[in-house]
Amino acid sequence: MAIARPIRVLGLAAICLWVFFLYQVFGSAKPPPPSKIMDKEPLLEYTGEPEGAPLWRAEKGYGPGAEGTNRINATLLSLVRNEEVEGMVQAMRDLERTWNSKFNYPWTFFNDVPFTEEFKTRTQAETSAECKYELIPKEHWETPSWIDEELFQESAKILKEQDIQYASMKSYHQMCRWNSGLFYKHPALENTQYYWRVEPKVHFFCDVDYDVFRYMQDNNKTYGFTINLFDAPQSIPTLWPETVKFLAQHPEYLHDQNAMPWLVDSEKRPEHNMKANGYSTCHFWSNFEIADMSFWRSQAYEDYFNHLDRAGGFFYERWGDAPVHSIALALFEDSSKIHWFRDIGYQHIPYFNCPNSPKCKGCVTGRFTDGESWLMKEDCRSNWFKYVGMD
């Protein structure tokens, strides 16, 4: 029959096309598509992020990560009290809006007492990501056995006379110690590598459209910060002397590419350096940190923390986790692995990091503080740029 053959050929072609289509949709071994936001995003538009980042994004794309998702091994992390639920919800709302709703990283909340049902319900309602609620083991939170209660009370009195905030609040000292050397040892974080620390009541102002954890991983960064501040030297008079002692015992831990000149600067604020016995007091403000816990889990940091812990300054003085983290990073890590997230608009009262970018709303570009004018001099970011650079 004259028309049967073309019809058969056409039919065969249609079947082939159909099979090819089915294979493309269901059968190929392609990784899952990148998140929708990545598809839509013009890759080279201005984002305020560091040079090179958009290109890096275009080149590498977002392949599947842990457990077959686009995410890498990371969590948002908050130590918080039940009473702070309101502030936590507000901070979550900001971070979910500007960043996490695009990536859905899990939240892990820590507390020294069990979280209330109200806390759990209200925080989970702010995100479609998984929320985990973790109790801190007693042995991580309790004041160590070698701390003498009477001496603690005496020291607190002296610190208070010097206007050191929270000096006599034991839990504040416990919090600083836990944030310094214990949080990353919690069993719930055993298999987690990166974290972004978030405190209640902080604000985020800028849309951030790339996966900051992936940025850290792909660029081999250890630590990311937004703000550099001077510390109250009266809260850490023996922190630097103890550090010098430790370094004498362990010169092998000092990294070739360390940031020692940043630590010991005495030009910008000579009196601070004097009162802190050789340390400029300039530190990464740790209520914001995006970091790789491998560093805290290293032998160098473990030994350093134990040395400090034994020295007693978390209780007899008021050593914060910020200067402790900062000193360790500046001594034991390659300074090029420390990254300023200039593109993340951030506020923890009373300081800001507010970039110049159309992606930011709700903060004043370049403003450092909305508090009294003397607070301006607490900014020491320029020292980081002077001694280490901008990346």
Chain contacts with ligand GDP (rule: CB under 6 A): 79-81, 84, 111-112, 171-172, 175, 199-200, 287
Q: 375: burial class by Cβ within 10 Å (0-12, 13-18, 19+)?
A: middle
Tokens representing residue 153 in the block? 């009370």
* Rounded Cα–Cα distance for residues 189 and 186 (Å): 6
* Rounded Cα–Cα distance for residues 254 and 333 (Å): 8
Binding-site partner at residue 112 among ligand GDP, Mn ion, none, CB < 5 to 8 Å by type = ligand GDP
Binding-site partner at residue 308 among Mn ion, ligand GDP, none, CB < 5 to 8 Å by type = none
Q: Looking at beta carbons only, is 274 or 349 nearer to Mn ion?
A: 349
Binding-site partner at residue 95 among Mn ion, ligand GDP, none, CB < 5 to 8 Å by type = none
Q: Least Å distance between CB 37 and ligand GDP?
A: 29
- Evaluate whether 201 touches 90 at the Cβ level (below 8 Å): yes
* Rounded Cα–Cα distance for residues 361 and 296 (Å): 34
Binding-site partner at residue 111 among ligand GDP, Mn ion, none, CB < 5 to 8 Å by type = ligand GDP
Q: Which residue is at the shortest CB distance from Mn ion?
A: 199
Give me the residue label for tokens 């034994």: 310
Q: Looking at beta carbons only, is 54 or 320 nearer to ligand GDP?
A: 320
Q: Least Å distance between CB 125 and ligand GDP?
A: 19
Q: Considering only CA atoms, give the Rg of the chain.
A: 25
Q: Least Å distance between CB 202 and ligand GDP?
A: 9
Q: Least Å distance between CB 225 and ligand GDP?
A: 15
For the chain, the 3-state helix, strand and coil shares in percent, each to the nearest 5, are 50, 10, 40
Pairing of strands 74-79, 194-197: parallel
Q: Which residue is at the shortest CB distance from ligand GDP?
A: 171
- Evaluate whether 332 touches 301 at the Cβ level (below 8 Å): yes
Q: Looking at beta carbons only, is 175 or 354 nearer to ligand GDP?
A: 175
Binding residues for Mn ion, rule: CB under 5 A, are 199, 287
* Rounded Cα–Cα distance for residues 266 and 388 (Å): 16
Cα–Cα separations (whole angstroms), residue 218 to 43, 189, 256, 291: 17, 21, 22, 13
Q: Looking at beta carbons only, is 48 or 320 nearer to ligand GDP?
A: 320
Q: Least Å distance between CB 48 and ligand GDP?
A: 26
Q: Looking at beta carbons only, is 199 or 334 nearer to ligand GDP?
A: 199
Q: 351: burial class by Cβ within 10 Å (0-12, 13-18, 19+)?
A: buried
Q: Least Å distance between CB 25 and ligand GDP?
A: 47
Q: What is the DSSP letter of 381?
A: H
* Residue 275, amino acid: K
Q: Looking at beta carbons only, is 198 or 388 nearer to ligand GDP?
A: 198
Binding-site partner at residue 300 among ligand GDP, Mn ion, none, CB < 5 to 8 Å by type = none
Q: Least Å distance between CB 364 and ligand GDP?
A: 22
Binding-site partner at residue 75 among Mn ion, ligand GDP, none, CB < 5 to 8 Å by type = none
- Evaluate whether 368 touches 351 at the Cβ level (below 8 Å): yes
Q: Report the candidate in 318, 263, 259, 322 with the shortest Cα–Cα distance to residue 288.
A: 322
List the catalytic residue out of 96, 289, 333, 378.
Answer: 289
Binding-site partner at residue 231 among ligand GDP, Mn ion, none, CB < 5 to 8 Å by type = none
Q: Looking at beta carbons only, is 199 or 303 nearer to Mn ion?
A: 199
Q: Report the candidate in 265, 235, 229 with the shortest Cα–Cα distance to residue 368.
A: 229
51 catalytic? Reply is: no
Backbone angles phi, psi at 298, to 5 degrees: -75, 160
Residues forming the active site: 289
